[in-house]
């Protein structure tokens, strides 16, 4: 329960940061994709189910406000969470390179899928330009942010896990 509430707070915080604070200081007209970092981080640390749910909720929060197709971001983020969560068992906690690589791959995939989806509805084919002006800058920025943000998520997750373990190991206490 505590974990769920904290996850919701984290999602909201990332969303708000993305559309208010960071919106004021975009670099090269793009903002980092904080919710994607959150999804990848928790999928890696907690596995498929957590990744899936975190991704879905993050995506839907984004959809709720700004997307023209409700559920699109939710769907993409959910799959990212699911696939990244599959790597859960190969993952070594302290290593930052793995999450960075995965964030890069996920952000790229997200960009491509979004581009393809736009093609379906509006005929603009200029892939090179989109790649140069949106997908790649967003990717670089997001990966840079991952360096810091991932450690924060890591600490939060460890604190939560420790607490859960303590509660499990002391069954004689009234819960």
Partner 1 sequence: MNKKTDNTNNRLILIVLTLICAAAIVLTGTDIVSISPIRKAAGYVIVPMQKGINTIGTWLTEKKDYFGRANELNDRIKELEEQVADLQEENLVLSENQQELKRLRELYSLDAGYYEYEKVAATVISKDPGNWYSSFIIDKGSDDGIAVDMNVISQGGLVGLVTDVGSHWAMVRAIIDDANSVSAMTLSRNDTCIVTGDLVLLDDGLVAFSQMNTTNTVTEGERIVTSNISDKYLPGILIGTINEISEDSNHLTRTGTIIPAVNFKSIQEVLVIKTLKKTP
User: Radius of gyration of the chain from Cα atoms?
Assistant: 17
- SS3 call for 106: helix
d(CA 51, CA 38): 9
With the CA atoms of 82, 85, 87 and 90 taken in that order, what torsion angle do they form, in degrees rounded to the nearest 10?
-170
State the minimum distance, in angstroms, from the CB of residue 89 to partner 1. 10
Phi, psi of 122 (to 5 degrees): -145, 130
Residue 126 interacting with partner 1 (CB under 8 A): yes
CB-based contact 54:62 (threshold 8 Å): no
State the minimum distance, in angstroms, from the CB of residue 27 to partner 1. 11
Residue 72 interacting with partner 1 (CB under 8 A): yes
State the minimum distance, in angstroms, from the CB of residue 4 to partner 1. 16
Each residue 30-69 as x (binds partner 1 by CB under 8 A) or -, in order, gives: xx-x-x------------xx--x---x-----x-xxxxxx
Residue 88 interacting with partner 1 (CB under 8 A): no
Secondary structure letter of residue 172 according to DSSP: T
Residue 118 interacting with partner 1 (CB under 8 A): yes
- Residues of this chain that bind partner 1 (CB under 8 A): 12, 15-16, 18-21, 23-24, 28-31, 33, 35, 48-49, 52, 56, 62, 64-75, 78-79, 82, 114, 118, 121-122, 124, 126, 129-130, 133-134, 138
């Amino acid at each position: 329960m505590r974990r769920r509430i904290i996850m919701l707070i984290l999602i909201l915080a990332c969303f708000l940061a993305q559309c208010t604070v960071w919106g004021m200081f975009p670099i090269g007209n793009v903002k980092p994709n904080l919710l994607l970092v959150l999804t990848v981080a928790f999928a890696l640390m907690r596995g498929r189910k957590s990744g899936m749910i975190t991704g879905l909720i993050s995506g839907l929060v984004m959809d709720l406000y700004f997307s023209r197709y409700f559920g699109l971001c939710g769907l993409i983020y959910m799959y990212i969470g699911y696939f990244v969560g599959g790597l859960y068992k190969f993952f070594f906690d302290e290593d930052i390179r793995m999450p960075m690589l995965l964030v890069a791959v996920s952000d790229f995939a997200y960009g491509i899928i979004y581009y393809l989806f736009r093609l379906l509805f509006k005929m603009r084919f200029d892939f090179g330009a989109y790649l140069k002006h949106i997908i790649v800058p967003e990717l670089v920025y997001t990966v840079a942010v991952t360096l810091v943000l991932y450690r924060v998520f890591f600490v939060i997750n460890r604190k939560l896990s420790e607490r859960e373990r303590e509660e499990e190991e002391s069954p004689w206490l009234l819960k």
